[in-house]
Each structure stands twice: as structure tokens, then as C-alpha cells.
Homo-oligomer: A and B are copies of this chain.
């Protein structure tokens, strides 16, 4: 199964999402994270710590058949053609987005592009959602639904544990933080939703 993580804007948790999806899926079968980002953020990350799955540069992926799950972290701002290509070569396209107004508006503007994608091959993931009682995530969800864009039910909270995860180069469940488990649950929930979608 090939999961591609792509977004039109940077700084939305794309790499974090790719890493933690790979971490979750590696519990279910041999997994690899393919780093296609220009910044090589994921490779850097893996070098800082100890990843429970393989992390390879996209040019170094020799034998995809070794893996049950491939998670691909793509460069930011793909062109329309890029996106279509990514969708064609993937089973599911995960599009993370923050829930601030600018991000949502930008995302809705790309509705045409996205709806050109085949069937239900993509879903949007809200990331960095502020805690209760903020309504930002709810508003974003509503706006995207109205625009007809498919959403994951799961959303990722904005927690300092994710920062520590990035700094230390370990998945968030390995971070020493009071809310590390809560943070990990978000991605576990996402992982379950992905696997459920597959069926």
C-alpha cells in the first residue's frame, strides 16, 4: 500500500504526519518512509534519532516490494500535474493542512484540482488544531465540508510533544512529555482510519 503525503503549503505538519503514519504502519507490517522533500527533513530526522522503520531518499528506494507499506513524503507545493501523478501512483493521498483561515482558503481554491483526482483517492487531515475550547478546527471542518472536500475524522492536536519529537528525532510516543501519549493517540487514530479506508 502506498500512502503519499502532500500539501500545497509548507509548515503544516507534512513531515510529522509522514513520520508518524510510517511509525504506526510499521506495527502492522514492514514499512518505509520515502523522503521526497527537498529539505530532506525526514532523513535528517531519522539521523537525529532512532526510527522504528526504514527511511530512504526517494532515489534510493530499490525494492519497493520488500515493504507492505510505503509512506511518501513529497515536496511542498506540487503542481497540478505532480498531484495527479502522485494520486495515480498512490493508494491514498493524505493532504495535511493547518486550520487557520489562510490555509483553508488556499485549500478550497484548489478544489478544482483536487476534484480532478480519481474518486476517493485523497483526504484532508487537519493538523496543529488548537485545544478546546477553540473553534478553529470546527470552522475549518465546516468550510471544507461545504466545499465538498473529504476529510479524515481524525485531527491532530497542537501539542508541544510534537516539537520535542522533531527535535529529538524520535516518534512522539518516545518523547518524555506529559501529553506524549495523547499526541500519539491522534496518529494512531489516523492510522486506523487509513487502514479502515483500505478495506
Instruction: Flag A1-24 by CB within 8 Å of B: 1 or 0 each.
Output: 000000011111001100000000
Contact assessment for A105 and B44 in the assembled complex, using a CB-CB cutoff below 8 Å: yes
Instruction: Give, as a whole number of angstroms, the nearest-CB distance from A74 to chain B.
Output: 14
Does A136 interact with chain B (Cβ within 8 Å)?
yes
- Chain A binding surface, main DSSP class: helix
Given contacts A10-B11, A10-B77, A77-B10, whether A102 and B41 have CB atoms under 8 Å apart is yes
Stretch of A63-71, A160-168, A180-188 that contacts chain B? A160-168
Contact assessment for B39 and A101 in the assembled complex, using a CB-CB cutoff below 8 Å: no
Does A189 interact with chain B (Cβ within 8 Å)?
no
- Chain B residues, CB < 8 A from A166: 100-102
Interface residue ranges of A129-178 to B (CB < 8 Å):
130, 134, 136, 160, 163, 166-167
Interface residue ranges of A84-112 to B (CB < 8 Å):
98, 100-103, 105-106, 109
Does A76 interact with chain B (Cβ within 8 Å)?
yes
- Chain B residues, CB < 8 A from A109: 39
Within the complex, which residue of B8, B41, B160, B163 is in contact with A106, where a contact is CB–CB below 8 Å?
Answer: B41
Contact assessment for A167 and B9 in the assembled complex, using a CB-CB cutoff below 8 Å: no
Given contacts A39-B109, A109-B39, whether A11 and B163 have CB atoms under 8 Å apart is no
- Chain B residues, CB < 8 A from A98: 11
Closest to A98 in B: B11
Residue of A9, A101, A160 with most partner-chain B CB within 10 A: A101
The 9 closest A-B pairs by CB, nearest first: A9-B10, A101-B166, A11-B11, A10-B10, A9-B11, A101-B167, A39-B106, A102-B166, A41-B102
Task: Give the interface of A toward B (CB within 8 A).
Answer: 8-12, 15-16, 39, 41, 44, 76-77, 98, 100-103, 105-106, 109, 130, 134, 136, 160, 163, 166-167
